Structure 1
Amino acid sequence: TGFYPDRVVVFWRRDGQELHEQVDPGEVLPNHDGTFQVSVDLDLKAVPQEDWGRYECVVQLRGIEDISTPLDPALIRTNSEDQSGLTIPIIIGLLVLLLAAAAVVGVLLYKKRNASGQRHKPVGSDTSSENTEGQNPAPEAQPLTTSPDDNFLDKVEDAYQEKGF
């Protein structure tokens, strides 16, 4: 990309011989700045990576010596299916899904346990019911409720202040 004029020849060679098969020549396209670009794709599916050194991309422009670049993944963009770059994002995604599933299961178990009527009793309360009918149990033996009254936060704040927190 970025050459001028638009007359350019780009091709692939293997062992010094121009390739015609496994090559997909592209069209010369204009850039926004008045220069041009072209791509010529080489299909390397059947070529082992250890043979890549036998291949080179050649660019010919009038008035300039041929520019030859050996096939090297570090220098030439490839469409190879290298999956190693996806390993970490896949692992992170799976961990996030696992944690989300564990959180959902935890919330469901918590709600099920609370909905089944199991309430926490205050420390020191007796599990047996020795009260006779008509008597109200002591306040510390009454089950906890989950709906606080309007002044609940004020009471909690006052209790913390009394304790010096």
Structure 2
Amino acid sequence: MMNFLSFFLLVVQTHSVTPVIHTLQYFTTACSQVPNFPEYVEVGYVDEVEMSYYDSNIRKAESKQDWMNKITAEDPNYWQRQTEKKVFRQHVSKDNNEILKKRFNQTGGVHTFQVMSGCEWNDETDEVKGWQQHSYDGEDFISLDMKTWTWTAAKQQAFPSKLELDQDIFALDYNKYYYTELCPSYLMKYVEYGKKVLMRTELPEVFLLQKTPSSPVSCMATGFYPDRADLFWRKDGEQILEDVEHGELLPNHDGTFQMSVELKVEVTAEVEGKYECVFQLSGIKEDLVTKLERRSILSNASHEAVKQINHTIPTGNVSVTATLAVLAVVVLLAAPIIIIFIIKRRRSRQAQYDSAAGDDGNELSERREG
């Protein structure tokens, strides 16, 4: 089974130049005994852009984008209702942590309980897909199979949850409705709200970097948007696959992205002009081409050049938002993951369905049984 970190990187690093696939994702983290960190955090993203936030310290659901406030024109109580639901889930998640501690024979220490759920929509084919994956203390726990609509337990301790959840016909029916209809409909609505931001295109600055004359030449593109892009080396017009190493797609602090690709080559007069770094961005027909020439390479030998590029290019460790930076603390403490809301029912099933049917699906795990 794909773990949370692998899944998250797959989502973030997908950058082939293909039809636009939009995503709506929710990440929640419930933790215990983590110093200087809220015991509950819930963050929503549209196309990797943070659009909503809640934590147990502020106890208020907030919009993180001006365009998300458009929803109050048709639903004035939207944010108030979101706050109430998140406060409820905050208390339920605390109970869940205690349940899981007992299942794993734990008495104390740092523990995290998280969930990643969402859907994607192909704006050309209208195909939709969904996911709901859960983990505890950095390891897969249970996930929902969207083909069979049954639960898959990754741990022995998850089997009691699987047996009960598979028998919860109401919750399974709601999941089918949410992932095939409700989630995509909200995703389309949010994309329409934020299309000026989400559908924009920004070309990058491209730099050739080399630590020493014998080091690989790194081609770095930074400041582009969206993340559906490709970066590769060509020689004599043909793409090179050997002696090439691709770096990760990384977020910049301003919401744009950066990526790099290294080429193992000795830069001599004979090879100058034969190699070129090519950047391609979805929606832009023309390639951005940078020829390999010694005079174009920035190296450690050029202090001013390195100083300039350090101001130009944010480091790959900078998170998209302060939220991700905070979540990184939990990652270090308990490993990255997706989590499980194994939840005690506190409302009647019909009342839950009525409450959720008109919403954005943030209460997906509210029907989980401990």
**Short-chain TM bin:** 0.3 to 0.5
Higher relative contact order (CA closer than 8 Å, sequence separation 6+): 2
TM-score, normalised with respect to structure 2: 0.20
Structure with greater strand share of residues: 2
TM-score, normalised with respect to structure 1: 0.44
